[in-house]
């Protein structure tokens, strides 16, 4: 069953459809939230809040693209709200819980962990608007038009935030690369 069918079932009051949607998208959405917030606990809170909001508004919500992109936008909104409420000191020293998928061997696992740590550290260096643009375009597959709507900016600003974020990530990752 596809997302549109599930959304229709949910709008008709089928609670099982919400569970199926959650199970289908939770890991992906948690990854998006963790990339945005750089804190696993806050990311889980944002995911939970987004689904509670989605479930509460499901009868009036009209999804115009993919449900996955819509939910990613909901999670990004909750992440932004969470950052506004966070104390400044905590946002300056992010801690990210390790999330590593099983690798074929210890060498590959160590390499994956190092690369993931470098990427998380580089993402933490980006201003939030740039980090959000990069994560939502790359991870959530939002178009620049959708990203502009999400961030309430022009499409040129959304593209610039993405480009500046990618450029800064490249330079940070290049600077930290082993020689």
**What CA–CA distances, in Å, run from 105 to 98, 100, 173?**
17, 13, 24
The one-character DSSP state at 63 is: -
Per-residue pLDDT of 128-173, as tens digits, reads 999 999 999 998 889 999 999 989 999 999 999 999 999 999 999 9
CA 24 – CA 2 distance, rounded (Å): 10
Per-residue pLDDT of 87-133, as tens digits, reads 543 444 444 444 444 444 555 555 567 787 888 889 999 999 999 99
For 65, residues 6+ apart whose C-beta sits below 8 A from its C-beta are: 146
**What local confidence, expressed as pLDDT, does residue 90 receive?**
46
**What local confidence, expressed as pLDDT, does residue 116 receive?**
79
Domains within the chain, CATH numbers bracketed: 1-97 (1.10.1740.10), 104-179 (1.10.10.10)
Confidence of residue 179 (pLDDT cuts 50, 70, 90): very low
Give yes or no for a contact between 29 and 48, defined as CB atoms under 8 angstroms apart.
Answer: no
Number of H helices, E strands in the chain: 9, 0
Torsion of CA 99, 112, 93, 28, to 10 degrees: -40
**What local confidence, expressed as pLDDT, does residue 81 receive?**
87
CA nearest 39: which of 102, 120, 109? 120
CA 36 – CA 22 distance, rounded (Å): 19
CA nearest 96: which of 123, 72, 129? 123
């Amino acid at each position: 069953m596809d997302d549109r069918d599930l959304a229709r079932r949910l709008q008709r009051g089928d609670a099982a459809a919400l569970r199926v949607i959650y199970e289908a998208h939770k890991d992906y959405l948690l990854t998006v939230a963790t990339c945005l917030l750089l804190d696993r606990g806050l990311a889980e809170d944002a995911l939970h809040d987004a689904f509670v909001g989605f479930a509460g508004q499901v009868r009036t919500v009209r999804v115009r693209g993919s449900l996955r992109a819509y939910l990613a936008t909901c999670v990004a909104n909750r992440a932004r709200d969470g950052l506004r409420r966070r104390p400044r000191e905590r946002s300056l020293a992010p801690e990210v819980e390790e999330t590593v998928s099983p690798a074929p061997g210890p060498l590959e696992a160590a390499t994956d962990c190092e690369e993931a740590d470098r990427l998380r550290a580089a993402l933490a260096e980006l201003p939030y608007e740039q980090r959000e643009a990069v994560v939502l375009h790359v991870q959530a597959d939002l178009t620049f038009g959708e990203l502009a709507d999400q961030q309430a900016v022009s499409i040129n600003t959304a593209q610039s935030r993405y480009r500046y974020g990618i450029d800064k990530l490249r330079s940070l990752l290049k600077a930290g690369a082993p020689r």
